[in-house]
Structure 1
Amino acid sequence: MRPSTMSAYNRLPHAPDCDCSVCWSGREMAKPAPSRSTPCAQCRPASAVPIRTLQMGRVGGIWKPLLSEWKVTPRSFCVKHEPNARPPKYWSVVLDTGRPTPYVPIHEPFELVG
């Protein structure tokens, strides 16, 4: 194809039921993320709020708090986003052959009896 017809081809609209890679990836990207880390309305992030200023001082000619008491609220999760009590298992045993056999070096030559 010539360049002018190729650019004209690229601008053609796709059919609503088109199954090409461009349309498929566009549909997949439009789906909501099924990630467990996506927060919902019941999940609450951690926060820290100053409740009382203990010491003030002049910084650059402006009075600013130098020492404060803070109220810290830990984050909380809903039942769906609650993290596991144990970390994920990244490695599993493929074949367990029992206890390992210790290596004992033999310093004396020997002959096989057959």
Structure 2
Amino acid sequence: MSIPAKYLRLSHAPNCDCSVCWSRAATAQPALSRSTPCDQCRPASVQLVDGRWQVTPRSFCAKHEPNARPPKYWSVVLDTGRPTPYVPIHEPFELVG
């Protein structure tokens, strides 16, 4: 089933709720993620000043500042309790079977 060419270039109504209009409206909204920088965060920049390259490091606002340490669950992979000491056996033994 093909769509006739005369319908492909029609403009959508202002209150159109088709998937194309919904996708366009959804992608135009700003993301509400913590990782999305705001207008107070400054990206890194490189400029040529007097024949020398000047690098300005990025900076974050207090809300987007990354933690200095990883989350706590990364520091301990498996905690099996207190370690069991190794006690060597010096007496000979026989397998019973």
- The TM-score, its normalising length taken from structure 1, stands at 0.45
Query: Which residue number corresponds to residue 39 of structure 2?
Result: 41
Q: Map Cα deviations across residues 37-61 of structure 1 (whole Å, 9 max, x no partner).
A: 11111111010101122xxxxxxxx
SS class of match (2:50): strand
CA distance in structure 2 between the aligned counterparts of 1:91 and 1:97, rounded to whole angstroms? 15
Between the aligned residues of both structures, percent identity stands at: 66
1:70-89 aligned within 5 A: 70-89=53-72
Superposed structure 1 runs of 4+ greater than 4 Å apart: 93-96
Structure 1 residue 104: Cα displacement: 2.3
Higher strand share: 1
1:38-77 correspondence to structure 2 within 5 Å: 38-53=36-51, 69-77=52-60
Question: Which amino acid is the alignment partner of residue 37 of structure 2?
Answer: P
- Letter aligned with residue 83 of structure 1: P
TM-score by length of 2: 0.52
Paired positions, count: 68
Return 5+ residue gaps in structure 2 as ranges.
1-18
Q: Tell me, what secondary structure is at the counterpart of 2:41?
A: coil
SS at match of 2:37: coil
Give the Cα–Cα distance (whole angstroms) in 2 for the partners of residues 50 and 83 of structure 1.
29
1:95–1:86 distance in 2 versus 1, CA, 3 Å = closer
Shift of 1:71: 1.5
Deviation at residue 77 of structure 1 after TM alignment: 0.7
SS at match of 1:70: strand
Aligned to 1:104: 87
